[in-house]
Structure 1
Amino acid sequence: MTAIVRSLLAVAIVAAAGTALATANAVTAPRRVLTVCADPNNLPFSNRAGEGFENRIATLLAKEMNADINYVWWAQRRGYVRNTLTEAKCDIWPGVASGVDMVTTTKPYYRSTYVFVTRADKPLSGLSFDDARLKRAKVGVQMVGADASNTPPAHALARRGIIDNVRGFMLYGDYAKPNPPAAIIDAVASGEIDVAVVWGPLGGYFAAKSPVELRVEPVTPQLDGASWPMTYDISMGVRRNTPAVQSEVETILAKQAGEVAAILAEYHVPRVAGAGTQ
């Protein structure tokens, strides 16, 4: 065997070994995983089957990151942040009001509003909190806790003395049933109440699915007094001290703003002009 042949053979062996090592590394290197905190029973936002619009947006993020997606399921009750992001169990929490305490939030990716939901066959279009019709109608309002005055619309109604004709619906509802927040929209469709004052994404989604035609209109005024805004920018929550994740998520949301907008439209999410409008 000549020296040249031996040299070529040695090069081939080294090259083959390098290829085999690279292949082995490619096979054994773990894929990146994006871990998402989400509620398993909270349409239109998320559920365990991945049918919510926040599921869809999280999947879009994972695809852009070339990552697999993993969920930490936790009902959005008191202690949600403490038991998820604070304990570093996940990377992101979709659908957080921008600037909320306890977490870092990304730049907003949409802005929505509370809405009035009424039956289309009832003469209740064009409502505002100052409309005298609200004093005569059966009004449903969402509650977070035992105190019915703990949401901005409940405060707006109470400030005007609209109390005795108001019925509270727990935001979380009966968690043993699917889609518990839908109960307030079902009550409008059945005629149990005349007006529901609900967060826009929930109202838009369930009104579109109602067997009875419902109308969905933004509440006015958008700022009640000096303390109660009715519109909010919505962001992704990320763990504190993870600026790289925050920056990456913001970059993807900006790049895919058109796709995000299409997803929101598909779920009938009311969007209003403002900081969250991409």
Structure 2
Amino acid sequence: MRVCADPNNLPFSNKAGQGFENRLAQLLADAMGARLETAWAAQRRGFIRNNLNAGRCDAVMGVPADYGMTLNTRPYYRSTYVFVTRADARWRPQGLDDPALARSRIGVHVIGSDNPPPAVVLARRGLVDNVVGYSIYGDYREPNPPSALINAVARRDVDVAIAWGPLAGYFAKRAAAPLTLTPIAQEAPALPMQFSIAIGVRKNERALRDRLDALLEQKRPEIDALLREYGVPRADGGAALSASR
């Protein structure tokens, strides 16, 4: 079983095999009686074109279930963006229209011209001046670049962060201060805050997609346990949303 994965992208994957997508790939390979082979590449623009579609691998863990560049399995989890605050904070956001956000420093991940939903949502609410951006890529020479956003909350560099649930759940457990995660309600369909996540294969690989679908169903208890272990907030009833550390 050949997969493409990022070598420095915890909690999803890293070259030491410590991410939950590394472990999911190994679980599926074992169930197939196959040897797992990983083609490493930084997950940047062109990742699918230059790796999966170029034949370097046959599957990519962790694509949105409705992603148009791949043929996708059934989702194996659904997660949500969350507010991240210190557990000792006097205030916890009650939603994206909470008026206290206008008086807060709000940390978000930024990518560039194609920013994730929280950055767009805050801009639409006129909160651009409140935003403190943290590159999702960070300094790629250092381990775990996305953790800087969560660590900023622990250090009080920002009052609150808005982060993708799996990232927040994993790094909040490892932060220097206790943190609390608060799930964000689904926005309008045009700008969702919750996403179902699947495995992507090349569009002509229906047999492989169907085999992976069957294994995802068969291994559901093990997959749910794996996601709980990594603190992944669930928006599909698979596990309770993470609260305080």
Q: Which residue of 1 aligns with 2:79?
A: 112
Q: Verify the 8 A CA contact 1:111 1:273 in the aligned structure 2.
A: yes
Say which SS state the counterpart of residue 269 (structure 1) adopts: coil
Q: Which residue of 2 aligns with 1:216?
A: 181
By how many angstroms is 1:130 displaced? 0.4
Unmatched 5+ residue regions in structure 1? Answer: 1-33
Q: Verify the 8 A CA contact 1:88 1:239 in the aligned structure 2.
A: no
1:202 to 148, 152, 167: 167
- Can you list the C-alpha shifts for 1:123-144, whole angstroms capped at 9, x where unaligned? 2224310001111111011111
Say which SS state the counterpart of residue 166 (structure 2) adopts: helix
By how many angstroms is 1:273 displaced? 2.2
Q: Which residue of 2 aligns with 1:5?
A: none
Q: Which residue of 2 aligns with 1:254?
A: 217
By how many angstroms is 1:226 displaced? 4.5
Say which SS state the counterpart of residue 66 (structure 2) adopts: coil
Moved over 6 A (4+): none
Q: Output the CA distance in 2 between the equivalents of 1:127 and 1:101.
A: 33
Q: Which residue of 2 aligns with 1:232?
A: 195
Q: Which amino acid aligns with 1:181?
A: P
Say which SS state the counterpart of residue 153 (structure 1) adopts: helix
Say which SS state the counterpart of residue 180 (structure 1) adopts: coil
By how many angstroms is 1:155 displaced? 1.5
Q: Which residue of 2 aligns with 1:83?
A: 50
Q: Which amino acid aligns with 1:67?
A: A
Q: Output the CA distance in 2 between the equivalents of 1:137 and 1:127.
A: 13
By how many angstroms is 1:42 displaced? 0.2
By how many angstroms is 1:156 displaced? 1.3
Say which SS state the counterpart of residue 3 (structure 2) adopts: strand
Q: Output the CA distance in 2 between the equivalents of 1:165 and 1:243.
A: 46
Q: Verify the 8 A CA contact 1:116 1:127 in the aligned structure 2.
A: no
* Structure with more of its chain in helix, by fraction: 1
Q: Output the CA distance in 2 between the equivalents of 1:124 and 1:152.
A: 23
- Structure of larger gyration radius: 1
Q: Output the CA distance in 1 between the equivalents of 2:102 and 2:90.
A: 14
Q: Which residue of 2 aligns with 1:51?
A: 18
By how many angstroms is 1:150 displaced? 2.0
Say which SS state the counterpart of residue 228 (structure 1) adopts: coil
By how many angstroms is 1:151 displaced? 1.5
Comparing 155-164 with 55-64, which one deviates more in the overlay? 155-164
Unmatched 5+ residue regions in structure 2? Answer: 240-245
Say which SS state the counterpart of residue 164 (structure 1) adopts: helix
1:193 to 143, 158, 171: 158
Paired positions, count:
239
Q: Verify the 8 A CA contact 1:119 1:212 in the aligned structure 2.
A: yes
Q: Output the CA distance in 2 between the equivalents of 1:204 and 1:106.
A: 24
Q: Which residue of 2 aligns with 1:266?
A: 229
Q: Output the CA distance in 2 between the equivalents of 1:126 and 1:150.
A: 22
TM-align CA RMSD: 1.4
Q: Which residue of 2 aligns with 1:102?
A: 69
Q: Which residue of 2 aligns with 1:125?
A: 92
- Can you list the C-alpha shifts for 1:37-94, whole angstroms capped at 9, x where unaligned? 0000000000000000001100000000000100000000111011111111111100
Give identity over the alignment, percent.
Answer: 50
Say which SS state the counterpart of residue 52 (structure 2) adopts: coil
Q: Which amino acid aligns with 1:84?
A: N
Q: Which amino acid aligns with 2:10?
A: L
1:164 to 120, 123, 129: 129
Q: Which amino acid aligns with 1:260?
A: I
Q: Output the CA distance in 1 between the equivalents of 2:48 and 2:212.
A: 19
TM-score (norm 2): 0.94
Say which SS state the counterpart of residue 234 (structure 1) adopts: strand
Say which SS state the counterpart of residue 254 (structure 1) adopts: helix
Q: Which amino acid aligns with 1:272?
A: A
Q: Which amino acid aligns with 1:107?
A: R
